[in-house]
Structure 1
Amino acid sequence: MYDITSSIVIYKNAEEELNAAITSFLNTSLNVKLYLVDNSPTNVLSNLAADPRISYQFLNKNIGFGAAHNIALNEVIEKSKYHIILNPDISFQPGTLEKIFSFMESNRDVGQILPKVLYEDGELQRLCKLLPTPFDLILRRFGNASILKKRRASYELVDFDYNQTLNVPNLSGCFMFLRIDTLKKVGFFDTRYFMYLEDIDLTRRIHQVAQTLFFPAASVVHGYRKESYKNKALLNLHITSAIKYFNKWGWFWDRGREQMNITVLKKIKAGRH
C-alpha cells in the first residue's frame, strides 16, 4: 500500500518545468508512486520517467484533463491511502508532503486539502472561492474590476486572510490532495468536462461528505498562467464546461450552492472577531 500516489497529465509541457514537479513529488521518504499520463501528440517527454517510482502512459491523443487523471485513479484506488492531482507547473520544498500526510492521518474527517499556493515571486494566489453562479463566472472573466466590485469580492473571498484553515467547497485543481476512501464514496472526475470546472465539480462532491480544507501550514509554488484568458480555443472550452456545470447543478436555483456559500461566509466573518 502506497502512502501517497500522484498523477500529472502532460500536454506538450516544457521539460524543465515538468521535471521540477516530478522532482518535488519524489523527494520524500514516504512510499510514493507517480503516474505520468501523456495527452501529447508525441512521447518526447517519456525520458522523464527514468525513476522506478514513475509509471508513464502515452495515450497518443488528448482525452481531456479529468479523463486522463481518472486513468491513474483507477490504477491506485486499491493501492494507496492518498492521491494528489498535480499540475505540471507545481513545485514544492522537501517536507511538504510529510506535513500534509501527517495532518490527514490525524484528521479523518478531511477528504481534500489545498495548501497555500504562491506565485514564483512569493506572492499569494487566492484560490479559495465560493461555488460560482453563472453571473460570478461571467463577471470574473469579462467584467470590469470596478463593476459590481462587492459581488466579485464576495465570490473570491477577499476577506479571508489565508492564515487559518477553512472548509471551502471550491478549491483550485492545481494541487488536490485527496483521501482515497473519500473518492470511493463520491467517484472520480466527471468526464463530461473536457477541461475546466472538473475540479470545482469534484471538490463540491467531496465537500458534501467530508471537509475540503485550505491548509496554510504547507505551501507550493504554482506557475499559473490563466491560459484561457489568452487562447480563444481554451476560452471556448471554459465556456462549454461552465454550461455543462450549470446544467448539472442548476443555473439560478441551486439550493446546495446557496447553503454551502452562506456557511463559508459566516465562518470567515466569525474568524474576524
Structure 2
Amino acid sequence: MHKTDKSPITAVASDLDSRGLSISIVVYRPHVALLNETLASISAAYEALRHTRNNIPLAIYLVDNGGLQERDVADSLRLLTQSGATCQLIRGHGNVGYGRGHNLAIEETGSRYHLILNPDIDMDRDALVKAFEFFDANPVAGLITPRIDDDQEGIQYLCRRYPTVFDLFVRGFLPGRFQRWFSQRLGRYEMRDLVNERDVLWDPPIVSGCFMMFRADLLRRLSGFDPRYFLYFEDYDLSMRTHKVTRVAYVPSVRAFHHGGGAARKGSAHIRMFAASAFKFFNRFGWKWL
C-alpha cells in the first residue's frame, strides 16, 4: 500500500470538481533543479489559467518512486499552494515504474482533465489556457499533445508513426554520425512531413508520455497506463489504446520545453528495460521488423 504524505506543504487534494485540472508527475531520484523548474512553470501556467477560467481548481500529484527529498521542493510546492492549488505527495510504495506511478494519481483524481507530465518539462505560461481552449472548441478530442522544443530551442518531433524494430534501433542506439544515413527513414517515423509549428495534426498514431493531456473520464475508462511496462513504451501502448475510444491531436499552440534524453545514453540497465518493454509492445500490437 502507498501512503500519502500530509505535511504542511503538501495539503491533501480534495473536492476537485468536474471543472478542474489534475497533474501527475512521477519522480525517481529526480534532478532537483529541473523538477523545481517544472513546478515553477506549472505555477505560472496555472496563474494564467485562473484568470481565464474563474479560479479553476488544480490538484498536483507528485508521485515519489524513490529518492525525493521533500525539502528540495518545499518552496515550489508552497508557491503552488499559495496560488490556490492543492498538492499531494504520494510515497511509500517503492519504485513501481513510470506507468504504475501515474496510475496511483489517476485513481485519486475526479477532475475533468488530467495532465501526465514529466519532471523535466517546462510549460509556456499560456500552455494550459491554449489546451483548455482547444478542448472547448474540439469536443471530439480526448487527448492532446503539445509542440515541444529541445535544448537548442528547436522543435522535437515526438509524434510517431507505428515503429519498426529497425527504426527503434537506429533512433535509440546508433551514434548520430550513422543516423544521418537513415535520416529519410527516421524523418518518416517521426512524422516530420506532417508535424510543424503551426498546424494541428489529427490522430498521430503515437504521442509522447512526457506531456499527455486527457479528458480524465476517458483516461479512467482506459485504466491509465498498462502496469506491465516498468519503463519505456507505456506511452506507445496508451496511445494505441486511446485511438480506440477517442481522437488524438497534436496542438502546436500548446507549447512546452523538454530536457529529456534517450535510453542509450542512460546505461545498460535502461537499454535492457527498453528492450523488454519493446518486446511487450510488439507482442501486443504486432511486430514490424523493417
Match of residue 102 from structure 2: 69
- Could you say what the CA RMSD is over the residues aligned between the two structures, in angstroms? 2.0
**1:149 CA drift (Å):** 4.2
Match of residue 99 from structure 1: 130
DSSP-derived class of the 2:162 partner: coil
Contact 2:127 2:253 in 1 (8 A): no
Contact 2:30 2:67 in 1 (8 A): no
Q: Which amino acid aligns with 1:33?
A: A
Deviations 1:248-267 (A, max 9, x none): 112149xxxxxxxxxxxxxx
DSSP-derived class of the 1:75 partner: coil
Taking a change above 3 Å as real, the CA distance of residues 252 and 60 of structure 1, as seen in their structure-2 partners, is: closer
**1:120 CA drift (Å):** 3.4
Find 1:160's aligned residue among 169, 188, 194. Answer: 194
Match of residue 209 from structure 1: 245
Q: Which amino acid aligns with 2:36?
A: N
TM-score when normalising by structure 2: 0.80
Match of residue 9 from structure 1: 26
**1:161 CA drift (Å):** 4.3
Contact 2:157 2:195 in 1 (8 A): no
Deviations 1:198-230 (A, max 9, x none): 001101111222111110112111112224433
Which aligned pairs between 1:190-201 and structure 2 lie closer than 5 A?
Answer: 190-201=226-237
CA distance in 2, matches of 1:188, 1:173: 12
Percent of aligned positions that are identical? 34
Match of residue 186 from structure 1: 222
Find 2:164's aligned residue among 133, 147, 150. Answer: 133
Alignment of 1:19 onto 2:36: yes
Find 1:58's aligned residue among 78, 91, 99. Answer: 91
Which aligned pairs between 1:16-55 and structure 2 lie closer than 5 A?
Answer: 16-27=33-44, 28=46, 29=50, 30-41=56-67, 43-44=69-70, 45=72, 47=74, 48-50=76-78, 51=81, 53-55=86-88
Gaps of 5+ in 2: 1-16, 51-55
Contact 1:9 1:87 in 2 (8 A): yes
Is the deviation greater in 152-161 or in 99-108? Answer: 152-161
Aligned length: 251
CA distance in 2, matches of 1:174, 1:214: 13
**1:139 CA drift (Å):** 2.9
Is the deviation greater in 111-120 or in 220-229? Answer: 220-229
Deviations 1:11-52 (A, max 9, x none): 111222111211222332132110000011454446354336
DSSP-derived class of the 1:141 partner: helix
